[in-house]
Structure 1
């Protein structure tokens, strides 16, 4: 008895698609546990492919990825340095010593930030902003 190649191909495609259920949970398990964020378009498209071929497994994939949080892109991280520590990087004439600032950030955050990079965007502040952070303006 000969089985048509279309039937074999259909079974193989069905098996592969059922393996893609909950793509985010399978591909990026480290994302599980997130509550919200931006939705990863790659995971959303892969889950939507499951809906195109099989409605129930596709909906289950979306449900699992949303429930586990694996569908969300990983969030950025933030870090804070006490203003008193940053005060050490301000020179007597009110300018910021980039070398001292870089050393403070290196010791506090454990990351080497290239403060001399020409792509670095610097914003100018006001006296009120300095006072809000506890700095004494000196110029």
Structure 2
């Protein structure tokens, strides 16, 4: 009688632990912030394991991965734009004009990046990064 309850408890604990870690946001934190792309089947299967054992954690895992963009494959390319070309999008007071920046990126990269998307994750740079690109920090 004691062995089956331990076995069932061990299986439940193992399933819960795999579901807690079966989230693309934990496996691939560098993928966060993507807006679209091809869905990674490994992450889908890992999230679907939660649906097999527990409906709510599985749905939460899918929701988190789609909301953060971690469920999508990375595009496989890196893109760089010369800092001199980006100066056109920065006003004298240091504010970035998103429309100009979007046009520059479209022209240079050949890809449309929706900078007004509400899922866009924006991070601020440091003073050293701004100085490296020849920009002056503004308050």
Given the two structures, how large is their TM-score scaled by the length of structure 1? 0.49
Decide which structure has the larger Cα Rg and report it. 1
